[in-house]
Chains A and B, each alone.
Chain A
Amino acid sequence: MLKIITAVIGRDLKLAMRRQADIVSALFFFVIVVSLFPLGIGPEPDLLRKLAPGVLWVAALLATMLSLPRLFADDHRDGTLEQLALAPHPLGLVVTGKVIAHWLVSGLPLALIAPVLGIQFDLSTDALIVLTFAILIGTPALSGIGAIGAALTLGLRGGGVLLSLLVLPLYIPVLIFGAGAVDATVAGLGGEGHLSLLAALTFASLGFAPWASAAALKIALE
């Protein structure tokens, strides 16, 4: 079971490394969107500090969405996906591997760059640490839930726009608790409660989402 997952992760990471431009462009999107906000809002530190958690999280959501359509599309186009579906091991495990690989190339870089961007918003060190943790813990849920949307819209015209329509409503809880953790830290309340809920969301979505995605893929492949 673990062997299948690691094999899929290794394969997807290798494919991603061959096309680094995709990873970098999603990351640049995140950096640019976040950097545009202080320019648009103005330099008031109090206001920026208040806006920072929401802005960073919404930008992270959008950056994750950007790379989601590719999650299954390439494998679908060259027939790999059908082979994986026909293989004797459960498709859900394959999707789990793909979700983890997707997180490694999309969510993890976001978490690593987030503290640098947080400085633009004059966040305190505590808040930066919590922000990094929140994005680190929360983004796997985004990859998991996003996989369902990516599987449902596989091969449809206008799939990208439709994907955002399907997935963004389901992202709202992650956004609330993710931004809430940073907000609570800024307010001096401590973000542990929010972080725990975020971790719960991540575990729940990593447990269920791959199987829902696998069912959606089977519908798409019929």
Chain B
Amino acid sequence: MKDRFNLYRFASPATFYPFAGALIPYFVAVSVVFGLAGLWLGMLVAPTDFQQGEGYRIIFIHVPASWMSMFIYLVMAGWAAIGLAFNTRLSGMMAQALAPTGALMAFLSLLTGALWGKPMWGAWWVWDARLTSELILLFLYIGYMALTAAIDDARRADKAGGLLLLVGVVNIPIIYFSVKWWNTLHQGSSVNLAKSSMATTMLWGMLLMAMCFWMYSIAIALMRVRTIMLERERNTDWVKAELLGNSAGGKK
């Protein structure tokens, strides 16, 4: 193990556990810094929208949460694909660790959307393609969590859940392109690499908040994956050593 750095080493829970533990404080710190900067820029600096007044400021939660809800699903599906293809243990744990955060993001996206929709559209909920597909995404997360929770054997749970994730991934492009394909009430995308239709400070505020959410998701997923590892590997020596606190963790 001394000769050279080997990435595959971290595929083992015993080595990944302390590694994840060491990373978590950094992600938390970065998330807090981005969050404070984003909130400051979004709530205090960004100008009032000429059309929507101050109400638009919920965008700084709504858009990052929606992005993360889709992105986390894709990451989970990616882990699922790796897990099914290479039969790795860690990928299933990562997918399971990400699921509650993804569900939370989808829920936040729907909730802030409803709170935003009431003053702007005059309705909490409209049967619009984007709203409906985001709701389906929330159901997919819940379905995944219910399926993995219902299967006692962890390996089978990972595989069955992974397959469900891969089947459900068709929903992601539907959500993403729904504002283009169906011209309904939900406004089109206002972020564009070439030319954005929003003020620069708004855009930056939103991007900073997105980074904050991203880092938060990584931190919380790592925390959760550590718990899952302890639970699944409870019969191994390294977990016993870890829990007894007589080692720095992961020492072979």
Interface size class of A (residues with CB under 8 A): 20 to 34
Least CB separation from A161: chain B residue: B146
Consensus secondary structure, chain B interface:
helix
Interface size class of B (residues with CB under 8 A): 20 to 34
Which of these, A156, A158, A166, A168, contacts B164 with CB under 8 Å? Answer: A166
A152 to B161, CA, bound (A): 8
For residues 206 through 222 of chain A, which have their beta carbon under 8 Å from a beta carbon of chain B? 212, 215-216, 219-220, 222
Asked if B167 and A162 make an inter-chain contact with CB atoms under 8 angstroms apart, the answer reads: no
Asked if A148 and B147 make an inter-chain contact with CB atoms under 8 angstroms apart, the answer reads: no
With A172-B136, A219-B156: A166-B147 Cβ-Cβ less than 8 Å: yes
With A169-B139, A172-B132, A222-B156: A216-B147 Cβ-Cβ less than 8 Å: no
Asked if B168 and A220 make an inter-chain contact with CB atoms under 8 angstroms apart, the answer reads: no
Asked if A148 and B139 make an inter-chain contact with CB atoms under 8 angstroms apart, the answer reads: no
- The reply to whether the CB of A157 lies closer than 8 angstroms to some CB of chain B is yes
A166 to B139, CA, bound (A): 8
Most buried by A among B136, B160, B166: B160
Asked if B160 and A170 make an inter-chain contact with CB atoms under 8 angstroms apart, the answer reads: no
A153 to B143, CA, bound (A): 11
- The reply to whether the CB of B151 lies closer than 8 angstroms to some CB of chain A is yes
Most buried by B among A148, A158, A215, A220: A215
- The reply to whether the CB of A165 lies closer than 8 angstroms to some CB of chain B is yes
Least CB separation from A204: chain B residue: B170
With A148-B167, A156-B151, A212-B167: A169-B136 Cβ-Cβ less than 8 Å: yes
Asked if B163 and A152 make an inter-chain contact with CB atoms under 8 angstroms apart, the answer reads: yes
A166 to B2, CA, bound (A): 47
- The reply to whether the CB of B142 lies closer than 8 angstroms to some CB of chain A is yes
Asked if B151 and A165 make an inter-chain contact with CB atoms under 8 angstroms apart, the answer reads: no
Asked if A165 and B139 make an inter-chain contact with CB atoms under 8 angstroms apart, the answer reads: yes
Which of these, B160, B166, B167, contacts A220 with CB under 8 Å? Answer: B160
Please name all residues of chain B whose beta carbon is closer than 8 Å to the beta carbon of A169 when the two chains form the complex: 136, 139-140, 143, 168
Interface contact tally, CB-CB below 8 A: 51
Please name all residues of chain A whose beta carbon is closer than 8 Å to the beta carbon of B139 when the two chains form the complex: 165, 168-169
Asked if A152 and B168 make an inter-chain contact with CB atoms under 8 angstroms apart, the answer reads: no
For residues 175 through 222 of chain A, which have their beta carbon under 8 Å from a beta carbon of chain B? 212, 215-216, 219-220, 222
- The reply to whether the CB of B150 lies closer than 8 angstroms to some CB of chain A is yes
Min C-beta distance of A203 to chain B, whole Å: 14
Least CB separation from A172: chain B residue: B136
Asked if B160 and A162 make an inter-chain contact with CB atoms under 8 angstroms apart, the answer reads: no
Please name all residues of chain A whose beta carbon is closer than 8 Å to the beta carbon of B224 when the two chains form the complex: none
Asked if A170 and B142 make an inter-chain contact with CB atoms under 8 angstroms apart, the answer reads: no
- The reply to whether the CB of B186 lies closer than 8 angstroms to some CB of chain A is no
For residues 134 through 168 of chain A, which have their beta carbon under 8 Å from a beta carbon of chain B? 148, 152-153, 156-159, 162, 165-166, 168
With A216-B163, A219-B159: A165-B142 Cβ-Cβ less than 8 Å: yes
Asked if B160 and A152 make an inter-chain contact with CB atoms under 8 angstroms apart, the answer reads: yes
A166 to B163, CA, bound (A): 12
Min C-beta distance of A74 to chain B, whole Å: 20
Asked if B163 and A212 make an inter-chain contact with CB atoms under 8 angstroms apart, the answer reads: yes
A166 to B166, CA, bound (A): 13
Min C-beta distance of B58 to chain A, whole Å: 26
Question: What are 18 residue pairs bridging A and B, where the CB atoms are less than 8 Å apart in the complex?
Answer: A148-B163, A152-B160, A153-B147, A153-B150, A156-B151, A157-B150, A158-B150, A165-B139, A165-B146, A166-B143, A169-B139, A169-B143, A169-B168, A172-B132, A172-B136, A216-B160, A219-B163, A220-B156
User: Assuming A169-B168, A212-B163, what are 19 further A-B pairs, CB within 8 angstroms?
Assistant: A148-B164, A148-B167, A152-B164, A153-B147, A156-B151, A157-B150, A158-B150, A162-B143, A165-B143, A169-B143, A170-B167, A172-B136, A212-B166, A219-B156, A219-B163, A220-B156, A220-B160, A222-B155, A222-B156
